[in-house]
Each structure stands twice: as C-alpha cells, then as structure tokens.
Structure 1
Amino acid sequence: MLAINGICKNWARVIMCYGLSEAQLNVINDNLPTSGCEVMSVDCFTDIIAMPQMVAIVVWDIMSEIDRGSFEDFFTDIAPFLETVIVIGQPDVNKELSKQILVYDTFDALAENLKYKLLGAYKKTKKSENFSSTLANALIILKAIKTKPYVTTQQLAEGLEMSQRSVQRYIETLRVSGEWIEYDTTHKGWVAGPGWEPDDDVAMNKTIEKIKNL
C-alpha cells in the first residue's frame, strides 16, 4: 500500500498521468476497469518515477529534455517492468525500451483502445498479486515445516489464517516444485528433508524459481 497525503493507496490500482487535461482525465475515469482503480494527475514528472503505479500515461511533447532522459534511463534500467507505460506523442527512446512501452500519436487514438488497455493492465497486476501471495504463503509454510518438524496442518492453517485444504494445496505445490516434504503418521505432522535452511537465501531463491516455472 502507498500512503499519499495521509491516504493509503493500492499502487496496483493507480493510473498516474502527466500532462493530460481535465477532459482527458475524465475520459480515463469513465474507462476504469474496476471501481477500485483511481486516476491520479501529477504536476511533476519525477512523481511518475518516484511512485509505483498500475499504469503511467505521459505526454511526451510537454516533457523537458531532462525529464525525457530520466524517463528513458529509469524505465530502461527496470525493464521488463510490471506497470503499463503509455506515451502520447513520438518518444525518441532506445529500441529496447520502445518494445516495452505503448505509443499513441494522440490522446484520441489512445481513447479508442483505452478501455481494453486499462483492463489488460489490471489483469496483469492482479495476476502478479495472486502469484506473489501464493509464493509468500508457500515459502512461509516451507520455513515453518523446516523450523518446526511435525507441525500439523491445523497449526499451519491457524497461523496463516487459511483453511486446512489451502495449506495442503500449498504443500503439494512445494512438493511438485521438488521440495521433499512428507507427512509423518507417527507424529501426525509434516516433516521436510534436506534442502535450504531458513537463512539460506541462495537455496530459497532456487525454490522460488521452481515455483515460478510450475
């Protein structure tokens, strides 16, 4: 969550705009994919870089040379990026970055496809949110089993505030990814075999990659 002027905002629902008129902002508001999305107009281009967002829409012609350089440097450095970046005008950027951004000659040209572009951006960030949540829960469960052998499904469910069935699905995901986890019928709990230790970041990253590739 992102706090702006004391108000907590979900960055994955913010459409940040630079250089658009009030009428154009209204068009974007009329095409929001969900009621939870919000349009934010900024007066300073650096806000686009400083704050995360679901979609960034900028007008190239009103950007200064410094801002244009910052735009190219920043988004080139973080590519591939999750947010959808839309540029109105004719941006003079490197070839690789030009493949990552959406370019429209005019706002009217964007408006014709705006609803679908915003919906696509929303789905992309929603998918990322779901995966991040799944990954986090799976790793928490794996760490719990590693540090507390014979922990029960009920204990894991209560600790993560989820159903026991969900815990079992996460454990199955870990097992499919290659983690050795078994249910000990004697102790009636889960036990993990050799693998990464709780503080082994390298091995943990390998587990993350395995889950990503499922």
Structure 2
Amino acid sequence: MPAQLARMRQKTTGDAMAMRGKKQAVDDGAIRALLKRYACPLPYHEVRARFMGNIATPDMNASPMQEIHRVWGDELPVFEDKGEAEAFFGKLLQGMWNGLSAHQKRSDPFKLARVKTAPASHEYLGRLARVRREELDGFIDGLFAGQEEMDFPESAHNAIGTLGEMRALFAATETLATDPPGPADTSTLEDTAKHLRELTRIAEAEINVVIQSCRKARQQMLETFVIERPGTLH
C-alpha cells in the first residue's frame, strides 16, 4: 500500500490536496433521520457522495428526481398524502441537493464524510475503509447517472481512473481488516490508519478535479447550444 500511495501522491498536486472548504450548510441529522424513516437502501455518506456525482455529471439529461428514484431502487416509498411527499422531496432537493451544489465552487470544495477517529484497530480500519469505498462507489455511480459509458474531459477521465485504483485499495483494506490473517502490532495498525487518511485527502482532491472539469465541460456545452440554437421566427 505505501508504494501505491506514493505513486498516487505524485499524480495529485499539492494545491489540489490542500483544498478544504466551509462546512456544508445542510442539517445532516434531519437527512439521516429521513433516510432511516423511509428505509433508504444506502447509508447517508454514500447517498451524499452519489448526489454529488450526479450534480457533477456531464450528462445534460440527468435530473435530481431521476437520481432519487435510482437511490431507492426505482421504487420510492409510499407516502400517506401529498404533504408528506412534498416534505420528503423538499428535504432531499432543497436541503441536501442544493447544499451539495455549492461544492461546485472552487472556494468550497467537496469533502468526504468525517469518520470519528478511534484508536487504531482492525475494527476502526475496516469501518474507515468501508465508508470510503462506499463513498467512491456512490460518487462514480451518480456521475455515470445510470449509464454504462460516458465521455469525460481528459482531466476528469484521469481522475476517475485514479479513484478506481483508490477504491480497490479501500476495498482490499476493508477485506483484510474484517478477516485479518493474524494479530497486528499497534505500530502497523497506526501506519495503516495514516495511509487511509492520506488516501482520503487524495480522493477528495481527485473528486474535486472531476467536479471542476465536468462543470467546465457543461458550461461549454451550454454555450455551444445557445450559439447554435436557431433564432426565433417572428
């Protein structure tokens, strides 16, 4: 893992790794409660990352409503009345989705969910690796918006490749931590925890490369559409 980490560090600039943003202006507690109430099949941190990926997607046909349907496996909860449905979509769209949209600004980059720090142990490493693996799964799933293939700008394409490598590292660590081959000394566990936290910072930087690259690509597509749109007939 250290050698792979070093190679990834070389692929990520110091400025990108230093990107940190303001706190997300979303009531996380209320969103978590809503996901639990309506039996969301995905954990909060994965839904959050998935929404961010769908916000960033270059697919001009993607929409928040479609992604919410996809998160619930295309089978939305049954609502008692119109008011309950409006409250459900209002919290997800006006709260969570709009709050995440602010991370398209360079000055407010997206950050992965915080995982409470604990003494280095197999249990802690497994939990941290699992959360990160699920977040990367969610981000990529939202980014592709249900499609098997998609064209991306070169910088986004490269960053997605790096995220795929990192996802494999998190998954491998999760597996080893869940079923360790034998006892590990404290120093080894602490070193692994440091590597995972470093990978987290790199993953955030690569995710934000994708977000900025796709945002620029969407703007260019919109500008092209406006220029090529036929004039209104009078």
Common fold by TM > 0.5? no
Q: TM-score, normalised by structure 2?
A: 0.27
TM-score, scaled to structure 1: 0.29
More helix by share: 2
Structure that is richer in strand per residue: 1
Q: Which has the larger radius of gyration?
A: 1
Query: Which structure exhibits the higher relative contact order, with contacts defined as CA atoms closer than 8 Å and separated by 6 or more residues?
Result: 2
